[in-house]
Amino acid sequence: MDLTYTEEEEDFRARLREWLSGTLPALPPKPAATDWPGRRVYDTGWQRRLHDAGYGDVHWGASPTTRLIFLEETEKAGAPYVGANFVGLLHAGPTIAAEGTDAQKERWLQPVLRGDEVWCQGFSEPDAGSDLAALRTRARREGDHYVVSGSKIWTSHAEVADWCELLVRTDPDAPKHRGITWLAMPMDAPGITVRPLRTLAGSTEFAEMFLDDVRIPVGNRVGEENDGWRVTMVTLSFERGTAFVGEVVACRRVLGELAAHARKSGRWDDAVLRRELALLNAEFSALWRLTQWNVSEAQATGGVPGVGGSVFKLRYSHARQKLFDTAADVLGPAALDAGQEWTFDRLSSLSYTIAAGTSQIQRNIVAERILGLPKGGR
């Protein structure tokens, strides 16, 4: 058990810190959290800077420890997070890197890393959310194209995306986990209608998407036809395994800000509140150590994070909600001001126990795949 970093890793940290301190003051002001067109420009601009400085591929090209250091330092410095590049950098990119052909890697990876192209996720459907394998969007083969019809929902960043990682049913007669195919769909193809959905936080970060005979070249298929479920599991293991890691550092920062605010306002004298903050400190301190534990394990086993990500996600998503509920307690009546940053975070945090698989689904995964309890009996 060793919590010290190698000399090489500490060099990386020092160089990154120096670069961040020179780069961050020159960034343009952040757009409003709900302004997705503005955030696309801002987030891709940040990605371009990372790329030009040699950090573009840190999310999937670097070792897990290097990535951990990157996330820790960028968050501590208050740098932007992946934002609108989330799907491209953390889902589609790693999936194509793991499962794509050389030509596909050539075509799609660089534009993501340079911040030239933004991806969205077309997995869920109105009748296939947590039960993702129940998806019905059809793709029939016509020569060297798939012709796709159906609808998708909860499509993050659809409004501002260039590409969509799309799951379609290519064999309706096969058992539901078979017969699914993973396609890269250009968002400017004829037949796509995007209708933004407004979240309870007031933001339009996801959308409904209607697909009416959309033609997608067969060359855009990642993995084999009808093998999309396996490819998807690769994507989801990235999503559940590492996608939330950087946020733990952010939560620890918020906790420090909350304590400072409470000390200033006099709320600190409330022993009940102080206890809540203390327990959150224990929680996020442990979640950070669990992150390091999981990263060390991934580093040792070399690669794709395992189902252990579900353990992390379960605890983290609830802890985050608790953090911003406590923020409301610290703020008092000001917490009801929708313009308050922590109020927006409080509202946004409600998605964490739902997105990327609800807590209930995560518990099933943990129980069945880690603990070996029998399937079924919902």
Question: Residue from 79, 112, 287, 323 that binds other proteins (CB under 8 A)?
Answer: 287
β-pair partners for 96? none
The upper half-sphere exposure of residue 8, i.e. CA atoms within 13 Å in the direction of its Cβ, equals: 3
Nearer to other proteins, 218 or 311 (CB): 311
Question: Residue from 100, 259, 266, 325 that binds other proteins (CB under 8 A)?
Answer: 259
CB of 113 within 8 A of CB of 257? no
**Window of 54-62, 134-142, 229-237, 359-367 that interacts with other proteins by CB under 8 A:** 359-367
- Whole-number Å distance between alpha carbons of 89 and 161: 13
- Whole-number Å distance between alpha carbons of 297 and 279: 27
**Window of 19-27, 111-119, 172-180, 277-285 that interacts with other proteins by CB under 8 A:** 277-285
- Whole-number Å distance between alpha carbons of 166 and 222: 10
Question: Residue from 311, 328, 354, 355 that binds other proteins (CB under 8 A)?
Answer: 311
β-pair partners for 206? 156, 197
CA 184 to chain centre: 18
Q: Measuring CA to CA, how many Å separate 37 from each of 40, 269, 362, 376?
A: 5, 44, 32, 43
Does 378 bind other proteins (CB under 8 A)? Our answer is: yes
Question: Residue from 3, 26, 200, 338 that binds other proteins (CB under 8 A)?
Answer: 3
Does 269 bind other proteins (CB under 8 A)? Our answer is: no
Within the chain, what is the greatest distance between any pair of CA atoms?
72
Per DSSP (E only), the strands in 180-339 are 180-186, 192-197, 206-217, 221-222
Does 321 bind other proteins (CB under 8 A)? Our answer is: no
User: How far apart are CB 273 and other proteins at their closest, in Å?
Assistant: 9
The contact pattern for other proteins, residues 56-95, with x = CB under 8 A and - = no contact, is: ---------x------------------------------
Nearer to other proteins, 338 or 371 (CB): 371
- Whole-number Å distance between alpha carbons of 366 and 364: 5
Binding positions for other proteins, 236-255, rule CB under 8 A: 255
- Whole-number Å distance between alpha carbons of 86 and 335: 28
CB of 168 within 8 A of CB of 175? no
User: How far apart are CB 1 and other proteins at their closest, in Å?
Assistant: 5
Question: Residue from 143, 190, 333, 374 that binds other proteins (CB under 8 A)?
Answer: 374
Positions marked active-site: 239
Nearer to other proteins, 32 or 370 (CB): 370
Contacts 24+ apart (CB under 8 A), 288-294: 288/248, 288/249, 288/252, 290/315, 291/68, 291/245, 291/248, 292/3, 292/68, 294/241
User: How far apart are CB 134 and other proteins at their closest, in Å?
Assistant: 18
Residues that bind other proteins (CB under 8 A): 1-6, 9, 65, 255-256, 258-259, 274-275, 277-279, 281-283, 285-287, 289-290, 292-293, 295-297, 299-300, 308, 311, 314-315, 360, 362-364, 366-368, 370-378
